[in-house]
């Protein structure tokens, strides 16, 4: 059986649309892809206006968000069951996935609404706006956001209405969550949402999006508690536990719960209008994909969406089929190298295939940073059992860095070559790791590696601030409890114990992932 299939015509056009901060691959017409990419760029402008983030041109291709736009909602949910769109942060370039076509079925039942009204159907565009808000916040702000706020703020942006003159309206209710907001309220109180440290239930999950939206709206637009949201977030960033920060900032949480329940029925949930100064309409640069590039799209989408031990063999098999059809194609060989490297994490014997495909991609395009990184990563994996390969891996990461000094991946993997080698790690490699973190605040694995390094240097407070976003997020499951324990050990000035616990947790998580125990 095919890995997955798009609900599309026998041959659909694929277009690449580039703007200042996006690369969109769209299975649609040129005009449709262009309009979509320009709308995404305007969303970025709107968020910059809201968050007072200055425009800055990208200095590395890795800084652009790649959006794969294809099929319908059913096709998206084949990648992630129940999803109408999703976002995957990645050192080598983050990716988002969204439908190119409207589907005939309502996604309301999946997303918290059960009626037949068109207003209760979730527009996939709103999902993408929600997911891009996550990317924007993680990319630009070094902060520890509790999950309710992260999702509640993203839902606030999801319903943004942008106008041709650059102005926009923000704050409209997410009608697709109306049943949760205005009827059941999920039986999740504000106190539970703000203070629970247990593994989240499905009800908790939905509360982040609905009750979280309402609380964020009230604290942002309501007249009675102005300034408290910033105070609460600052307290968490400083190391105060979220439950304590909530009680210190908001006082009686039962009273707050009553206030937002009254607020939701007040008819004052309309938000505000904002005008962007000196607005210039964005313009996307268009290019139709060549046949070999089109042939790789299904494999690229599957690989970039993430594979586990069960899915990796299928992705690699499909990539081989495309690469055999286009043996001299850079796009096909790069996609194959990526898929083979994913498989090699579960089946190390596949590493020679990954390295060979990277070599063919480099032969087709010698200046490819992506191919250099994949070649280096294959050698790094080999170096975990054959230390002699680590120096060779390092040369490829150096080449990639020289070609693109703002790309975080070469710096991160270069550091790992020294870590895997054992012994002292050069100061230059540690500085590179810190720079990679600055360029990729959204990457959780990088956070863990840098935290571990800082703990080895006895830099407890700095390590704790970097770990904090993961130490307050129960969605990380059992590992979250370990991260929280590491944070507590640092606060108690037991840095050596914190280092041992984090290193052990990271090693165990890696073992589970490679063995498929966490699928």
* 3-state per-residue secondary structure call for 403-442: HCCCCHHHHHHHHHHHHHHCCCCCHHHHHHHHHHHHHCCC
Minimal CA–CA distance to 377: which of 353, 355, 401?
355
Tell me the average pLDDT across 482-489.
94
Q: Give per-residue pLDDT as tens, 28-46.
A: 999 999 999 999 999 999 9
Beta carbons of 90 and 66 less than 8 angstroms apart: no
Tell me the sheet residues that pair with 97.
Answer: 68, 86
Residue length of the chain? 519
3-state secondary structure of 288: strand
pLDDT, position 284: 97
Among residues 232, 247, 274, which one ends one of the domains?
274
Coil/strand/helix, residue 103 = coil
pLDDT of residue 186: 52
Of 44-53, 88-97, 111-120, 168-177, which gets the smallest average pLDDT? Answer: 111-120
Count structural domains, the chain: 2
Q: By mean pLDDT, which of 12-16, 262-266, 279-283 is the weakest?
A: 262-266
Q: What is the residue range of 259's domain?
A: 17-274
Q: Please state, in angstroms and rounded to a whole number, the distance separating the CA atoms of residues 198 and 500.
A: 24
Does 386 have pLDDT greater than 50?
A: yes
Q: Are 323 and 317 in contact (CB under 8 A)?
A: no
| Residue 104 burial (10 A CB sphere; 0-12, 13-18, 19+) | exposed
Mean of pLDDT over the chain: 89
Give the containing element (helix H, strand E) for 25. strand 22-26
DSSP for residue 217: H
For 68, the enclosing helix (H) or strand (E) is strand 65-69
pLDDT at 121: 63
Does residue 333 form part of some domain?
no
Which of 252, 274, 296 marks a domain boundary? 274
Per-residue model confidence (pLDDT) at position 169:
95
In a domain, 332, yes or no: no
- What is the mean predicted confidence (pLDDT) over 237-266? 91
User: What global pTM score does this model have?
Assistant: 0.90
> For the chain, how many helices (H) and strands (E)?
24, 9
Pairing assessment for the beta strands 65-69 and 86-88 based on DSSP bridges: unpaired
Nearest to 445 by CA among 472, 405, 416, 421: 416
Q: Name which of 103-112, 132-141, 200-209, 302-311 the model is least confident about.
A: 103-112
What average pLDDT does range 431-448 have in this prediction? 95
Residue 9 is predicted with a pLDDT of: 42
pLDDT at 11 over 50: yes
- Judge whether residue 439 has pLDDT over 80: yes
256 token code pair? 């707050």
Q: Which of 6-10, 21-25, 89-93, 252-256 has the lowest mean pLDDT?
A: 6-10
For helices 124-140 and 147-158, angle between their N-to-C axes, nearest 10 degrees: 130
> Beta strand 86-88 with 22-26: parallel, antiparallel or unpaired?
unpaired
The H or E element spanning position 254 is helix 253-264
Rounded to an integer, the average pLDDT of 324-346 is 97
Give the confidence band of 337 by pLDDT, cuts at 50, 70, 90.
Answer: very high
Residues 6+ apart with CB under 8 A from 453: 415, 425, 430, 433
In angstroms, the CA 361 to CA 337 distance is 8
The partner residues of 98 in beta bridges, in order of sequence, read 69
Does residue 158 carry a pLDDT above 50?
Answer: yes
So what's the pLDDT on residue 116? 44
Work out the average pLDDT over 437-464.
96
**Which pLDDT does position 108 carry in this prediction?**
36
In a domain, 355, yes or no: no
Asked if residue 89 is part of any domain, the answer here is yes
pLDDT, position 83: 87
In a domain, 269, yes or no: yes
Q: Which of 274, 305, 332 is the last residue of a domain?
A: 274
Q: Which two tokens stand for residue 225?
A: 């508690």
In a domain, 34, yes or no: yes
**How are beta strands 65-69 and 95-98 bridged, if at all?**
parallel
Query: Is there a domain that residue 394 lies in?
Result: no
Residue 273: the pLDDT is 93
Task: Give a yes or no: residue 52 inside a domain.
Answer: yes
Q: Is the predicted pLDDT of residue 86 greater than 60, yes or no?
A: yes
The two three-digit tokens of residue 73, written as one number: 């909602």
Q: Identify the pLDDT of residue 370.
A: 98
- pLDDT (average), residues 188-217: 85
Can you tell me whether residue 173 is helix, strand or coil? coil
């Amino acid at each position: 059986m095919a890995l997955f299939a798009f609900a599309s015509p026998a041959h659909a056009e694929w277009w690449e649309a580039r703007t200042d901060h996006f690369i969109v691959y769209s299975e649609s017409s040129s005009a449709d892809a262009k309009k979509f990419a320009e709308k995404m760029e305007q969303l970025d402008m709107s968020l910059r206006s809201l968050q007072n983030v200055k425009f800055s041109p990208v200095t590395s291709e890795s800084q652009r968000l790649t959006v794969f736009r294809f099929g319908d909602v059913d096709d998206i949910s084949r990648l992630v069951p129940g999803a109408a769109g999703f976002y995957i942060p990645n050192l080598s370039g983050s990716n988002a996935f969204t439908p190119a076509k409207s589907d005939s079925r309502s996604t309301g039942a999946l997303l918290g609404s059960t009626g037949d009204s068109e207003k209760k159907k979730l527009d996939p565009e709103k999902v993408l706006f929600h997911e891009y808000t996550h990317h924007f916040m993680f990319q630009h702000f070094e902060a520890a956001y509790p999950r309710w706020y992260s999702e509640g703020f993203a839902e606030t942006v999801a319903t943004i209405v942008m106008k041709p003159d650059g102005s926009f309206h923000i704050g409209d209710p997410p009608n697709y969550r109306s049943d949760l907001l205005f009827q059941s309220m999920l039986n999740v109180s504000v106190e539970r949402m703000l203070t629970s440290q247990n593994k989240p239930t499905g009800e908790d999950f939905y509360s982040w999006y609905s009750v979280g939206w309402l609380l964020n709206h009230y604290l942002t637009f309501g007249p009675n508690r102005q300034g408290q949201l910033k105070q609460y977030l600052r307290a968490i960033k400083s190391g105060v536990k979220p439950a304590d920060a909530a009680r210190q900032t908001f006082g009686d949480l039962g009273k707050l719960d009553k206030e937002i329940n009254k607020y939701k029925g007040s008819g004052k949930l309309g938000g505000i209008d904002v005008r962007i100064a000196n607005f210039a309409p964005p313009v996307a640069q268009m290019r139709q994909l060549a046949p070999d590039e089109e042939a790789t799209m299904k494999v690229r989408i599957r690989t970039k969406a993430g594979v586990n031990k069960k899915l990796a063999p299928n992705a690699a098999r499909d990539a081989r089929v495309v690469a055999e059809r286009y043996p001299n194609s850079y796009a096909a060989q790069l996609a194959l190298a990526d898929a083979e490297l994913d498989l090699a994490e579960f089946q190390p014997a596949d590493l020679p295939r990954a390295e060979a495909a990277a070599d063919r991609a480099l032969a087709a395009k010698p200046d490819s940073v992506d191919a250099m990184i994949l070649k280096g990563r294959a050698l790094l994996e080999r170096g975990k059992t054959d230390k002699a390969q680590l120096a060779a891996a390092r040369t490829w990461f150096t080449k990639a860095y020289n070609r693109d000094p703002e790309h975080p991946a070469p710096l991160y993997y270069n550091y790992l070559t020294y870590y895997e080698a054992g012994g002292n790690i050069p100061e230059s490699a540690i500085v590179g790791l810190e720079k990679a973190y600055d360029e990729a605040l959204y990457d959780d694995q990088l956070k863990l590696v840098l935290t571990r390094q800082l703990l080895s240097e006895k830099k407890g407070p700095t390590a704790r601030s970097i770990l904090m976003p993961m130490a307050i997020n129960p969605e990380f499951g059992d590992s979250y409890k370990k991260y929280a324990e590491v944070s507590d050990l640092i606060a108690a000035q037991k840095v050596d114990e914190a280092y041992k616990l984090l290193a052990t947790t990271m090693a165990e998580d890696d073992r589970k992932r490679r063995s498929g125990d966490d699928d």
